[in-house]
Amino acid sequence: MSSVAGGIFFFPERKRSKKKVAGCLPSRKPKPAGRPSLGAKGFGGSVFLGFEGSGANGLKRKLMLGLSVAIIFLIAIIGGSLYVMKHDGTAAQTACAKTSQPAAKQEQAQKSLTLDEQVEDIMSRMSQTEKIGQMVMVSLPGTEVDDEARYALHQFHYGGIVLFDRNFESKEQVKNFVLDVQSGAGEKVPLFVAIDEEGGLVSRGKEVIPAPPSEEMVGKEDKAFAMKLAAQVAGDLKDIGVNVNFAPVVDLGLGRERSYSTHPYEVLKFAEAAGAGYKEKGLMYTLKHFPGIGKGTVDSHVEFSSIEATEHELRKEDLVPFREIINGSDKGRNFDYLIMVGHFLYPAFDTENPASLSEKIITGLLRKDLGYEGLIITDDLGMGAIIKQYTFGEAAVKAVKAGSDLVLVCHDYGHAEEAYMGLLNAVKEGNISEKRLDESVRRILKAKLRHGMKPVQ
């Protein structure tokens, strides 16, 4: 019989008689003609040992044996290949599973954390530059996110954008625009996407979003109408990717039909109703312009001016809508709304700084006196009331030191960069502490997470 060992076939030689001759090795008979011995000869990668054939039968046996070996060798190759393929496939699947495991584990871990724990987890993975970027909101030109916009978003980690008419062409286009901003920003949490959709003259993208009536017109209706209208506006805005509306205006008797009423409690009634409509649809809204600019006689978009009302008058009238909504909303802890601070000077509270840059008004009055714990944002720092007195960097630093969480810089990349670099330098020089920075970032992240802006895995 033949035996197989590692692909080598052994065939026993025929027994030969070996006669001893004194002093000599056993003699071998001469090989008969026509009976060549294979001895040890390679064939097909195998070795045949000790086979001798004769004539046609020998040749036939050799051919059959060679064919058998070739078939067995081919089977071995195929079997080995299948084994390798199977194990490589398993390894690939394992590697793929291992790759997806960290993201899945991170998502699962996030779900098991409380809101505060999620915020702290995200903050622990943020760089100083990322934190500063979260505190700056900007606007982008055009209807597409071009390379310059992508560079700005990546380089400065801006925490949000504001849409203007220049960003609107069609509903599908603006939706894609917002999606491109969110997907291309590369931040750890999505961006705020805000808009000024007050109604009336202050309405954006009228060709795309149905323009709501002015607040003055709404103020002639009832609370139910105001709430229904706000819910409708919120639905339209969310449909294109907006998550923050810079409305309603809660100033008393502001021009251009921008106020519900000149009476504080009428304004309060409609502002609360509008807030309920926004909240119903899960859209963040904004009370503006703290501490009330209805008594102003100059447009702060153009010039710096002061409101010469007494503290008693301001508390009895202009502050009423802000104070009552804060008191009725758990001091803003749920982050359903922001408060936007205006650029007027209020000598009754601060004789030197406009409200948006005043620590006495933002930290002293709004935070400590009224107890507000939600997000605070400045009006656009590019308005004449500010930019005619300060650089963008100076204004941003003063606003944050005063207590603002977000600084708004619209219309120009260079201005936004200047504000960002002003904040960065102030932090590096110790003019703004890390603790102060973290206070604002913590509120921003909490607001985003509460409103479904989930961490990017």
Q: Residue 370 is encoded by which pair of tokens?
A: 């009224």
Q: Where in the chain is the domain with CATH 3.20.20.300?
A: 113-450
CB contact at 8 A, 441 and 135 = yes
- pLDDT tens digits along 373-398: 999 999 999 999 999 999 999 999 99
Q: What is the sign of the dihedral through the CA atoms of 366, 370, 375 and 377?
A: negative
pLDDT for res 86 = 46
Average pLDDT, the chain: 84
pLDDT at 300: 80
DSSP β-ladder status, 3-5 and 8-10: antiparallel
Q: Give residue 238's pLDDT.
A: 98
Pairing assessment for the beta strands 136-138 and 40-43 based on DSSP bridges = unpaired
User: Is residue 82's pLDDT more than 50?
Assistant: no
In angstroms, the CA 213 to CA 292 distance is 22
The CATH architecture annotation of domain 113-450 reads Alpha-Beta Barrel (3.20)
pLDDT tens digits, 307-321: 999 999 999 999 999
Average pLDDT over residues 48-64: 50
Asked if 410 and 382 count as a contact pair (C-beta separation under 8 A), the reply is yes
Range 165-176 average pLDDT: 97
pLDDT of residue 81: 47
Summarize the confidence of residues 353-363 as an average pLDDT.
98
Written as one string, the DSSP assignment of 45-98 is TEEEES-B--HHHHHHHHHHHHHHHHHHHHHHHHHHHHHHHHHHHHHHHHHHHH
Longest dimension (CA), the chain: 140
